Amino acid sequence: MWTTIAAIATPPGVGGVAIVRVSGPEALAIARSCVRLRGDWQPRHAHFGQLLASDGTVVDEGLILWLPGPGSYTGEDTVEFQGHGGAYVTARVLDRFIEAGADLALAGEFTRRAVINGKLDLTQAEAVGDLIAARTAAGAQQAMSVLAGGLTAPLKQVRESLMTLVAHLEAGIDFPDEVETPSPDWFHGQVATIVTAVRALIATSTAGQIYRHGATVALVGRPNVGKSSLLNALLRHERAIVTPYAGTTRDTLAEACDLDGLLVQLVDTAGIREADDPVERLGIDRSRAAMAEAMLTVLVVDGSVGLTGEDTAIRDGIAGPYLIVANKADVGSAMVPDPVPVWALTGDGLPGLEATLRARLVTGLAPPTLAAINARHRACLVRALENLDQAVAAAHAGLHLDCLTIDLRAALQAVSDVSGDSFSESVLDEVFGRFCVGK
């Protein structure tokens, strides 16, 4: 039997309106004991009412919504009190509901109940958290695509294919005289189809990472070529200290930037050169580490000087994708091969650089309107692939069908862990432990 839970559903602080949510079998009874309405309680209607303390004094007044289950977010009877958005008065409203019999909700408990009650699958529940946390248009679009069921359908298809395959093999085990033993070609064909579908889902993980959490771009180069000036120009405000003296930047500096709807983490780095100063050398080591970790490296060079030997050495040390930006480009950008020309101090060329950066980061990615998996999903699906490979190896070794079904059932469990079709408490704890209280 579920308990009835309550929590503040709006952010802490002062605002025009605050919402306190109550959900569970006793939600309506608890609300009736605390709230005085003008009229009768009607489901799915907004009523004006007063929330009363135990001694009958008015704590707050506002709108009351009663949403009977299963037609609510959690699938349970739910009551929402929409009152004045003061921190003190909202806390008193919550205290009153708890005093009347509700338990304080845990982090993510409302959405957890929505999953358990079949209102959402686990990927959609995670998308709720992603939508709340989204900082750019692309992040919000990606979350909405998953919330709308963009991962639900392909995961369901994989899961049903695995269930059908397991059922066929187990029927051959239990009824060998009535069910024909599947041929190796048929078995391998079935597994190959499932593997292709799982790999297609795993292939979306890079897009999911970029749209949800952003892409890291490292600004590197030798000292005093304008890396910090370029960072400030892209951010549209003075974040990094800029001086005419080489070696001003001694450490990495990371700032988030909205690049036409795409979240980008820009990392300004110390100038890379031969140095005797141990502090400067430490900064240079961190610059090289930032290059190694970045999704894209921007090599900033002085367009008025051209590509120097130091620039070439830095470029040759970049392992991943990179882009050359010629700062002070109107002076001598032709001296640098294939540059993106900018003038960081005036902003000339900045729109072109931003467009180029965004295009390079999203090249080959599905648009954010198509659903993509997250890191947890990827780990589960990689585990499913490993189990499928083991099943194929068992078949090649001529092992009994029992051995094949063990591996296939493990793959089925891994896929089910993604969507929550067969969830465990540990999986739910992992997912909803990242949620805020009240959602």
Q: What is the pLDDT of residues 260-285, one digit of tens each?
A: 888 888 888 877 766 656 666 676 76
Higher pLDDT, residue 22 or 303? 22
Q: CATH class for domain 211-362?
A: alpha beta
Q: Is 247 helix (H, G, I), strand (E, B) or coil?
A: coil
Higher pLDDT, residue 121 or 434? 121
Q: Is 319 helix (H, G, I), strand (E, B) or coil?
A: coil
Per-residue pLDDT, 223: 85
Cα distance between residue 273 and residue 324, in whole Å: 18
The b/e string for 264-296 (b: 16+ C-beta within 10 A; e otherwise) is bbbbbbbbbbebeeeebeebbebbbebbeebbb
CATH 1.20.120.430, the chain: domain bounds: 125-204+372-432
Dihedral sign of CA atoms 326, 332, 333, 334 in order: negative
Q: What average pLDDT does range 216-232 have in this prediction? A: 86
Q: Is the pLDDT assigned to residue 247 strictly greater than 60?
A: no
Q: What average pLDDT does range 20-27 have in this prediction? A: 96
Per-residue pLDDT, 346: 84
Q: Is the pLDDT assigned to residue 143 strictly greater than 90?
A: yes
Cα distance between residue 354 and residue 26, in whole Å: 54
pLDDT digits (tens, 9 = 90+) for 39-98: 789 999 999 999 999 999 999 999 999 999 999 999 999 999 999 999 999 999 999 999
Q: Is the pLDDT assigned to residue 241 strictly greater than 60?
A: no
Q: What average pLDDT does range 336-350 have in this prediction? A: 82
| Contact status, residue 402 vs residue 410, Cβ threshold 8 Å | no
Q: Is 245 helix (H, G, I), strand (E, B) or coil?
A: coil
| Contact status, residue 420 vs residue 376, Cβ threshold 8 Å | no
- Tokens encoding 139: 């992040």
| Percent helix, strand and coil across the chain, each to the nearest 5 | 45, 20, 35
- Which CATH architecture describes the domain 5-105? 2-Layer Sandwich (3.30)
Question: What is the band of 405 on the pLDDT scale with cuts at 50, 70, 90?
Answer: confident
CATH 3.40.50.300, the chain: domain bounds: 211-362
Q: What is the mean pLDDT of the chain?
A: 85
Cα separation values, 55 from 33, 61, 364, Å? 12, 16, 64
Superfamily, domain 125-204+372-432: tRNA modification GTPase MnmE domain 2 (1.20.120.430)
Alpha carbon 136 to chain centroid, angstroms = 12
Higher pLDDT, residue 168 or 353? 353
| Contact status, residue 341 vs residue 326, Cβ threshold 8 Å | yes
Helix axis angle, 122-133 to 137-147, nearest 10°: 160
